[in-house]
Structure formats: structure tokens, C-alpha cells
Structure 1
Amino acid sequence: MRTLLLKYWYRLRSSFWFVPTTMACLAVALAFSCVALDKTVTDDWLQLVGWSYSGGAEGASLVLSTVAGSMIAIAGTVFSMTLVALSLASSQLGPLLMRNFMRDTANQVVLGTFVATFVYCLLVLRTIRRADEVAFVPHLSVSIGVLLAIISVGVLIYFIHHISVSIQADQVVARVGRELNGGIDSLFPDDFGSPGSEASNPVIEANLPAVFAGDAAVVRALDDGYLQLIDADVLMALAIKEDLLIRLERRPGHYLIKSRAMLIVWPAERVNETLAAKLQAAFVLGNQRTAAQDVEFSFQQLVEIALRALSPGINDPFTAVACVDRLGSALCRLARRDIPSPLRFDSEGRLRVIAPGSTFTGIVDTAFNQIRQSGRSNPAVAIRMLDAIAQIADHVHCSQDADCLQRHVNMIVKGAREAVPDPEDVSAVEMRYTATTLRLREVRC
């Protein structure tokens, strides 16, 4: 249940309507509250407030009509500018970043401010009565409407600045890099796992019962889609309650096909339709990958920006270098963390859940493979990748991680030798290759 709520909360954060709708509802409450207060407060008291509106019904209607009309027009302009920014980001930086722009709280609050001011003025306007009726002019409400209009002008100025800055490639790369670091801190905390506990098949197989393969039931996926979230607490609770051993066949970020194996449960005789439904409910599928439990997805966002920058149509190696810098920084942070073991034990020390996750080798491959392949003819990108790997080497704590980095170093220099036409550029790459190899050799010693 908690995982499902997290999924819906992530969708709300990624939507462009939630914050403006919430602000519009607050504007409705504010309008009714201010009008009710106007009916109880005398005009003599309001005159003591220097900034309050003191005109008649015609003037109040004109003021509110002007503010409401201008706000809805500005809201349309803001929406158009946002669509232009989204289109630019999609074409220049990649479609994976669309959700980052839609999740931008500043854009949502700006649109919500104009919509809320429009709704407030419209609701207050309907309460004004002329002299031929029972005269009523909500002076306080009109004054607050004017104040909201002034605030909206300031918000518009801020939005113009914000949207101009937010579509700059360096700013986008920096924002994605910060989100990536936050994801690493969340999924790989300092005190989780054991040093050098990167998963390996022999370790998993050694902890499995001898009859596991022949006496286990397969729980299959109910639908097609990307695995977004797994409620590990639910799986552990079910495993303890039913005395089961559960092995996950997929992890967040993988694409599931309907009726394909999602997890293996032992012993098979304890698995019925009810239990299978409870186990399936712990998995949340969607149409797209998310960064909630999938750290490789955040790496892929930076990789996508770099690949777009290295494409012949854009040819922006500076942005690609910036992406490599952020990837190197994130991998340095990750190298200092302990990869959690795939084996999950209960309080009595009995193995209950086997949940293979991301490994340092797999994440490094995700970060560097495609950039290396696309930038093999660009010596600046190759040199910066070697520099990044040299920095990562200072933080790795096992020879297996160092071997993974050395493999990428060898492939980078091999690609440069084959694709870079200038011998001096190749020589510069080889010099960085030698320095990086020496630093990695120190780690393995």
C-alpha cells in the first residue's frame, strides 16, 4: 500500500496540474473567507487601513474585471512559454528530461498564481451589488485582489528569468546531477550493507536450498510495463508469515512482459492464488521508468544529454564534457558507498528474500558505454572520461571495482587510437591513459 501511495505521489509531482489546481482551491477558500469577513467588518474600520480599497461598486467591478482578464491572459502566455521550453528541452536535451521540467515546482507555482488570482477575482466579483439592489462592496476582498495582482506581476518577472535559465544546458545538467546524487544517498546510505558486498551468482547459489530449483513456484507478472517500485517490507513480511524463500527475477527499471516470471517462491506447495496476488501487489508497474528505486535511470538521463550533445546535428562537446563531470562526481560518491547484499535475512538469521540489485560494474557500464562509443573520435571527451575515472579510482575500495574501471580505460584508449586522426591528440589521450592506469594499479595492489 505504501509503495502504491509513493507511485501516485510521484505521478502528482510529475504532473503539471496538481499545484495549480491546489492553489485554485485555496483561492476559492480565500475568496469566500474574505467576503464573509467583509460582511462582518464595518467600512469605518476598513478606512483605518491605508491600503484598502475605498471606492464604489462600479470601481470595484472594473478593478476586479481588469485583474481577472489580465491574469487569464498571462496564464495562457505562461503556458505557451512553458510548452516552448518543453519542446526545446525535448529536442535538444532528450525526451527523458520532459518529466524534470514538468516536475519543476517553480513553473507550477507560477501558473498556479495566475490561475488562483483569476479564480479569486471572479468569485469576489459576483458578490458586488449595485445601489439599485442591496448595496454591497467587499472593500477588503477587492484590496486583497489588487494585492494578488501586484504579487502576480512579481511572479511574472521571476518566471521570465527562471524559464530563461532553466533551459540552459549547464543548468539542466547540474539539476539532473543533484537529483542523481540525492538518489545515490537514498538508495545507498553510508551504513547499509557490508564493504565490497557486490552481488555475485556464486554467493546467491551457495545460500539456496538444494531443492530450490525443483520445488519452487513461479509468480508471474499480471501486465506489461516497467517495474517502478517494489515494496520490500511487504515481501519480507509475507516471507516470514508464510515461511517462504523468495527470489526476485526482476529489479526496478526492468521491463516486465505479461505472464513472464517475476519472482520465484519456495516451497511451491504454500503458494496459492491468494498469496500470489499479495506478492504481485508488492510490485508497481508503469509506462515509464522512474528514479525512485532505479538509480541507473538517473545516470541514463545524463547519458542521454551527452549523446544528444555529441550527435552530428548538435555537435556540442562542452555539454558532453559537463555530463561526464557530473557522472564522474556521482560515481565517486557511489564508489564510497557499500553495495547492499542481495540476501535479506529475518531477525532469526534465516534467509527470506533474494533481491539482486544494481552493481557498481553495471552502473559504470551504464554511465560510460554509450558516451565512449559516441565520443571515440573526440579526444576532449576521451580525455575527460579518463580524468573522471582517475578521480573515481581514489574512492574505490576493492580490486573488482578497479578492474571494471581499467576495462573502460582500455576501451577508451583503444577507441581513440582507431578513430582520432591526429597523432598528437592520440598521444594526449595515451598520456592520460598511462596516468590513470598507474592510479588504478595502486588500488589493486
Structure 2
Amino acid sequence: MAIRMTLRSRLSALWDNLRTSFWFVPTLMAVGAFLAWIALQGADARLRLSESDGAGLIYSGGPDGAWELLSVVAASMITVTGVTFSITIVALVLASQQFGPFLLRDFMRDTGNQVVLGTFIATFLFCLLTLGIIRGSGGSAYVPRLCVSTAMLLTIASLGVLIFFIHHVANFIQTHNILWVVSADLQQAVDCLFPEPIGRCAGASLDRTLPETVESEAGTVLSKGYGYIKVIDEEILMKTAVEHDLVVRLEVRPGAFIGEGDGIASVWPKASLNAEVEKATNDSVVLASNPTAAQDVEFIMNQMVEMAVRALSPGINDPFTAMNSIDLLGQGLRRVAGREIPSPVRLARDGRPRVITVGATFPELLDCAFDQIRHYGRSSVPVLRRIAATLGSIASHVVREEDRQALTRHVHLLREAGCEGVPEPAGRAEVEKACSAALEALTITRAIGGAHDA
């Protein structure tokens, strides 16, 4: 039978699309304004309030005044919405030239910005609907006083929202606030993906239970589309493997780009590879036009790396932004270092290995975080010193020897970068001192780890 993407994965992908869109929350607020207008105009029709009934917050003017008031408000709302967001987009485009295009995505995802746009649109729609039921002077004159009063309250609220929006955008485009938002995403992603939440992970001893002929007798599943891998649904793969008595080994992971016809998985035994298995495997790999944070820690880290690299360019020359990025990248790596890296082998309920995944390891994340920053910041003593200090601080959190070796390798690479890139002898000495301190921290943690193992 055909297998579709599970509800959980579909909802996860849908929610990621909705939270980064500029239409979802404003649409909900516009629908809410429409429903509120229906309820209030019904109450107006039943109560039939007159001018003498108007008091306090209830509008007490005539139809001409109500018409002029709502006309001005409606025209103002649509004008303010267009002008405000046009100016904001220009400011963000200029800021994105310094911080990278990820800034625009974070701006669109921000709930406060979506609520501001929704408030303006909801106020405009409410005023427009109310204008349609106001009747002029004479015996048939009618003013929906509750609706007009509500429109006035929405107008006042819109002024407050406008003030908030200006303040919010001014704060949003500040470097440290952008980095803090991305860092929070990184912490959340680490908590979600380490340890792996789906299924049971096989330990190192169970990895040897894989058939010896998996490598030589496996068939390849080719991609039917192209794009960046957004989500991989392991539940589909597990269900397919169990139903067809297969072992499925993924050749790709979230965030990678695959072309049409590229191999995405190997299936053993090859004789069981059929059209149904190919379709289910392709269905499990959700493609998008751009990488996203879903299941992809490296994508989030690359946002901070890009900000650091751009800050180190000669045209900007802002080492402080680069150092802030290094600090927050280090915090994310500390979190990963203390976590158990899930085994790539997924077991079915009967304990047999069925799915082999491709996940990010600590050394790979370490390379992602510091390779480019070290390369482009090789002439900046403060940046190199900050990387060395960060590597030394991560050392106290690692529990695996291969992770310590990766940290040691990065310290040596940092030392070489300082020797080659820093022209002043005093600067090279500072970098050497920082690297020596990091190596000393690694030596201490290795000794402590060896004592614990003993």
C-alpha cells in the first residue's frame, strides 16, 4: 500500500512554513475582525441605539460623522501599513547586506511583526465593513454605534501598535539581538535532536548485527525531485523497512542539497527494491527551495557563522560581532558536547536493525562553527584569541575522546592561522599563549576523563 508522510511530519513542515510567513497571523486576525463585526452589527440591529443613548465609549454622532470618521481611519490604516512596511523592508535589506539574508527570514518569523500587520489589516477591514451598513440622514438613517465605537477603539490600539512596531524594529536590527534569537533557536534544536527522539537507538555493540552483505548487495533509491532536504520522516522509512523486510540506509541528511536522480538511500536486499519502496523512500524526504532549521543544527549555526564572516570583511571590519557569534556558537557546542550522540542504527520493535541514518557529529559541528571564521579572521588577534578561549571552555564539557581530538586539531589549526595571518610578533605571541591555554585545558580534561574511566 502507498505510504504518505505521517501526520506529525506534515504538521511539523506545515507549522514551519506558517511561522515564517507574513500572511498566516494577519489572516487569522482579519477573520477575527470579520467575525467580531458580524456579532457587533447583529447587536446593533437588535439594540437600535440612538444618539441620546451614546455615552462614554459609545459613539453618539450622526451618520455623516460616522462615515467621515471611518473613511479617514480606513484610508489612514492602509496608507500607514504600506508606508511603514516599505520603510522597514528597505531598512532590513540594508541590514541584511551586513548580517546576511537570514535576517529577512527571522524578521518574517517574528510574531510581533505579524501581529502588527494583522492589527492594521483587521482595523482596515472592520472599518470598511462598517462603512457598508451606515445609512444617511432621513427616516431610514442608521448608525451601527457599537461597530463605530469598536472601530475607534481599534484605531487607538493601532496607534499603540505602531509605536511598538517602530521600537521593535529598532531593537530587532541590532546585532546582539539578532544573534540572541538565532542562539535560542540553536539551543532548542540541540535539545530536540540530541538525543534522537524517534525510535530506539542501537548501541555500538548492536551495530555489528547488520548483515555483512549490506554494502555489496544493496540497491540505490534515486531522488524524484531536487532541492534542499527539509525533513526526513524516519517513521515512513521504518514502516517500509518492516513491511518489506528491508534494511534502509540513508545517504543524505537534512540541510543537504540533492539533485534529481541523486542517490538518497541504499536498500538491502536489492531484490526487494520495487516501485513502492522507491515511492515511500522519496515521500520520507521532504524537499524545499531553501534549507530550514527543521532537523538541521548546521543551518542555524551557519546563520551565526555568516554574520561573523561578513563582520570580518574589510568593508565592515567589525570584530566585536564576530566575537559575539563565537561566544554563542561555543554555547551551542558546549550543549552538544555533553549529550549522547545517537547511534545511526534504528531498531524495529523486534530488535532488528532496519534504518541507518546520517546524523551530525560533534567534530562536524565544530568544523561548521569555526572553520570559516578562522579562515577569514586569521589576521585578527582578538578573534583568534576568542576562538581559542572558546575551545578551551568547551573542553571541560566533552566526554568522548574523539571530541577532544577534534578540539585539539582546531587549536593546532588556530595556531597555524595565527602564525601565517598575524603580521606582528606581539600579536602572534598572544595567539600562541591563548592556544597553549586551550591545549592545557584539554590535557586536564583528558586526564580527568582517563581517571574516571579507570
TM-score, normalized by length of structure 2? Answer: 0.93
Aligned partner of 1:387 in structure 2 is: 389
Q: 2:146 aligns with which of 140, 143, 146?
A: 140
Aligned partner of 1:423 in structure 2 is: 425
Q: 1:262 aligns with which of 241, 259, 264?
A: 264
Aligned partner of 1:160 in structure 2 is: 166
Aligned partner of 1:119 in structure 2 is: 125
CA spacing shift, 1:291–1:346, aligned 2, 3 Å: same
* Deviation by residue 1:69-100 (Cα, 9 ceiling, x = unmatched): 11111101221122123202320101133211
Aligned partner of 1:104 in structure 2 is: 110
* Deviation by residue 1:251-271 (Cα, 9 ceiling, x = unmatched): 111111111211111122222
Runs of 4+ aligned residues of structure 1 deviating over 6 Å after TM superposition are 190-197
Once residues 422 and 144 of structure 1 are traced to their aligned partners in structure 2, the CA distance between those partners, rounded to angstroms, is 69
Unaligned runs of 5+ in 2: 448-454
* Deviation by residue 1:169-225 (Cα, 9 ceiling, x = unmatched): 11111111111111111111499999997x9xx996x44312223432211100111
Q: Give 2:118's aligned amino acid.
A: G
User: 1:194 touches 1:340 (CA, 8 Å); kept in 2?
Assistant: no
Q: CA deviation at 1:116?
A: 0.9
User: 1:20 touches 1:112 (CA, 8 Å); kept in 2?
Assistant: yes
The secondary structure found in structure 2 opposite 1:365 is helix
Number of matched residues? 441
Once residues 396 and 112 of structure 2 are traced to their aligned partners in structure 1, the CA distance between those partners, rounded to angstroms, is 38
* Deviation by residue 1:291-326 (Cα, 9 ceiling, x = unmatched): 111111101000000000000111000100000000
The secondary structure found in structure 2 opposite 1:314 is coil
Aligned partner of 1:377 in structure 2 is: 379
Q: CA deviation at 1:276?
A: 1.7
Once residues 176 and 217 of structure 1 are traced to their aligned partners in structure 2, the CA distance between those partners, rounded to angstroms, is 40
Aligned partner of 2:96 in structure 1 is: 90
The secondary structure found in structure 2 opposite 1:412 is helix
The secondary structure found in structure 2 opposite 1:43 is coil
User: 2:337 touches 2:399 (CA, 8 Å); kept in 1?
Assistant: yes
Once residues 246 and 195 of structure 1 are traced to their aligned partners in structure 2, the CA distance between those partners, rounded to angstroms, is 15
Percentage identity across paired residues of the two chains: 44
Q: Give 1:334's aligned amino acid.
A: V
Aligned partner of 2:68 in structure 1 is: 62
Q: Give 2:361's aligned amino acid.
A: T
Aligned partner of 2:192 in structure 1 is: 186
User: 2:201 touches 2:346 (CA, 8 Å); kept in 1?
Assistant: no
Deviates more, 1:34-43 or 1:270-279: 270-279
Aligned partner of 1:405 in structure 2 is: 407
Once residues 368 and 182 of structure 1 are traced to their aligned partners in structure 2, the CA distance between those partners, rounded to angstroms, is 20
CA spacing shift, 1:46–1:430, aligned 2, 3 Å: farther
Q: Give 1:325's aligned amino acid.
A: D
* Correspondence 1:241-256 to 2 at 5 A: 241-256=243-258
User: 1:193 touches 1:340 (CA, 8 Å); kept in 2?
Assistant: no
Aligned partner of 1:52 in structure 2 is: 58
Once residues 265 and 345 of structure 1 are traced to their aligned partners in structure 2, the CA distance between those partners, rounded to angstroms, is 15
Q: 1:175 aligns with which of 159, 166, 181?
A: 181
Q: Give 1:245's aligned amino acid.
A: V
The secondary structure found in structure 2 opposite 1:329 is helix
* Deviation by residue 1:345-403 (Cα, 9 ceiling, x = unmatched): 11221001000210000000000000000111100000000111111011000111011
Once residues 336 and 49 of structure 1 are traced to their aligned partners in structure 2, the CA distance between those partners, rounded to angstroms, is 65
Q: 1:74 aligns with which of 52, 73, 80?
A: 80
Unaligned runs of 5+ in 1: none
CA spacing shift, 1:101–1:293, aligned 2, 3 Å: same
The secondary structure found in structure 2 opposite 1:226 is strand
Aligned partner of 1:26 in structure 2 is: 32
Once residues 440 and 161 of structure 1 are traced to their aligned partners in structure 2, the CA distance between those partners, rounded to angstroms, is 45
TM-score, normalized by length of structure 1? Answer: 0.94
Once residues 355 and 114 of structure 1 are traced to their aligned partners in structure 2, the CA distance between those partners, rounded to angstroms, is 47
Once residues 264 and 313 of structure 1 are traced to their aligned partners in structure 2, the CA distance between those partners, rounded to angstroms, is 47
Once residues 133 and 246 of structure 1 are traced to their aligned partners in structure 2, the CA distance between those partners, rounded to angstroms, is 78
Matched, 1:275 2:281: no
CA spacing shift, 1:46–1:245, aligned 2, 3 Å: farther
| RMSD of aligned Cα (Å) | 2.2
Aligned partner of 2:321 in structure 1 is: 319
Matched, 1:365 2:367: yes
The secondary structure found in structure 2 opposite 1:285 is strand
Once residues 107 and 59 of structure 2 are traced to their aligned partners in structure 1, the CA distance between those partners, rounded to angstroms, is 39
